[in-house]
Amino acid sequence: MTEITKMPNSLEEYWMPFTANRDFKANPRLITGAQGMYYTTHRGDQVLDASAGLFCVAAGHGRKEIAEAAHKALTELDYCPPFQYGHPLSFELSRRLAALTPGDLNHIFYGNSGSEAVDSALKISLAYHRAKGEGQRTRLVGRELAYHGVNFGGLTVAGLVNNKRVFGPGLPGALHLRHTRLPEHQFVRGQPETGAELAEDLQRFVELHGADTIAACIVEPIAGSVGSLVPPKGYLERLREICTQHDIVLIFDEVICGFGRTGKQFASDSFGVVPDMITMAKALTNGVVPMGAVACSENIHETITGAAPEQAIELFHGYTYSGCPVAAAAGLATRDIFEREGLVERAAEMAPKFLDALFALRDIPVVTDIRGYGLLGTLDMAPVERPGVRGYAVLQQLYDAGVMTKITGDSVLLSPPLILEDRHIDEMFTKIRGVLQGQ
C-alpha cells in the first residue's frame, strides 16, 4: 500500500488542475495529513487552514464520524445504480436537505461536483420550459466575474476571462449581467449600499431579446472565486422580481455560500431571497467525498415530472455516481455534525471577529481593497509586473509562514472552517500581516 506520508516516486505523471505544474514540481507543497484546523506538510510543518481546503472542509479536518459513516456505507453497500434503482441513504439525505433549503426547494438532484450541479441546474431549467411548451427559451444568463465550475454549461455562464478564453464561445445565446464591483465599494464590509440598479441588466435583456427566449439566470449570491463580491442591497431582490415577472428560472449557485458560510444555512436565507433552484457541493460532504446537488422548487419538479407519461423517465439526465452510497453517507454524517455542534450558529457568532481582524489589515500599503461577509473574506493586493505574480509569491510565503489560503490573481481569499476559534483568528491574521507587510 502506498503511504501518504512518503514522498511520491515521481511528480511528473500527475497533471495537476489549476496549478503552475512546472513550478510546483520544482518546489512541491505536499500535504500529508490534516486534523481540525491544521494541515501537516511533507516537511512536517503545521499549516493553518484559512480556506477550508477549497471552501469545503467546513466542519474541520479528520472528522471520525464522517470516516466511519463512509466506511460503513462502503462495506455494506459499495455501489447501487441510481438509474431505476435506489438505496435508502440518498433518499434520507434528500429529506434532510429539503428540510434545510429555503422556500419549497424540496426536490434534490445529485451530481458529483459543483460543476455538475451547475450543469444539471441549467439543463433542468431548459427541461422545465420545454415541459411547459416553451422549448424556445434557451438563453442562459450569467454574470461577469462569476465562477460556476468548469463544465461547458457553467463555463458558458461564468465570467472569469482566464477560465474562458481558451475554450471557445460555449453554448450559443448566453448573456452576461455586468458585475457589481463598483469603485465606491472599496473597503465596504458586508452589503454595499449602491449598485442594486445593475440588476436592471436582466430587464434590458428581456426587452432586447424577449423573455420568451430566456430560460434561466444564474448568480452566486456572493461571488466566491473572484473574491467575495457581496451583493449590493436590493440587487438579489430585484433579480427575483424580474425573474418572477417573466418566468425566468432564478438559480443561486451556493456551492461556496451554502451550509453556514454566510452565518445562515444558505445565502438565500441571509439575503432573504428565495431562488427557484440552489446548487450546492463542497460542505455538503465536508469536502470528504465528491458530491454536488441541485435543490429544485415544487413548481419546477412538478412541471417536468407531470409532463411525462406514467412509467416514463421524466428527465434524461444523471450520472453513474448520482447520490452514491458513500457520498450520501458522508453527507448525512456531515449534517449530523452541523446540527450537533451548531456550526451554522457558530459561523454567525465568529463572523464579526473574523471580519474585524480582516478589515484591520487595511493599513498595510500593498492592500488595495477588502471585502467580506460571514466567514468569507478577501483582500486585494496591488499587482507587480503582471496580474498574478504577487498573488503566487504570497501564496508560497503564506504557506511557508504556516497559513493555507486560496489565491485568485492578486487576491487572498479566506474561508476558514466554521469550527475556528479566537486563537485561530489571531494566528491567521498575525501571519498574514507579517507576510503582507513584507511586500
Binding site for ligand PLP (CB under 6 A): 113-115, 118, 147-149, 220, 224-225, 253, 255-256, 281
Q: CB of 253: closest distance to ligand PLP in angstroms?
A: 4
Q: Which residue is nearest to ligand PLP (CB)?
A: 114
CB of 290 to ligand PLP, least distance (A): 7
107-111/292-296 β-pairing = antiparallel
Q: Please report how close the Cβ of residue 162 comes to ligand PLP at its closest, in angstroms.
A: 14
Nearer to ligand PLP, 224 or 325 (CB): 224
CB of 223 to ligand PLP, least distance (A): 8
Inter-residue contact 303 to 132 (CB < 8 Å): yes
| Least separation in angstroms between CB 256 and ligand PLP | 4
Torsions phi, psi for 325 (to 5 deg) = -55, -45
Nearest to 301 by CA among 277, 271, 321, 330: 277
Residue 60 grid cell: 474541520
Lookup result for grid cell 454595499: 192
Distance of alpha carbon 195 from alpha carbon 353, whole angstroms? 27
Residue 71 carries which side chain, given as an amino acid letter? H
Of 3, 19, 24, 1, residue with least CA distance to 11: 24
Choice between 192 and 224, CB closer to ligand PLP? 224
Could you give the 3-state DSSP secondary structure of residue 152?
helix
Dihedral through CA 19, CA 334, CA 226, CA 230, nearest 10?
-170
| Residues β-bridged to residue 381 | 367
Q: How many CB atoms lie within 10 A of CB 168?
A: 9
* Closest to ligand PLP by CB, 122 or 381: 122
Residue 149 or 331: the one with the smaller Cβ distance to ligand PLP is 149
Q: Which is nearer to ligand PLP, 41 or 334 (CB)?
A: 334
Q: Which is nearer to ligand PLP, 248 or 278 (CB)?
A: 278
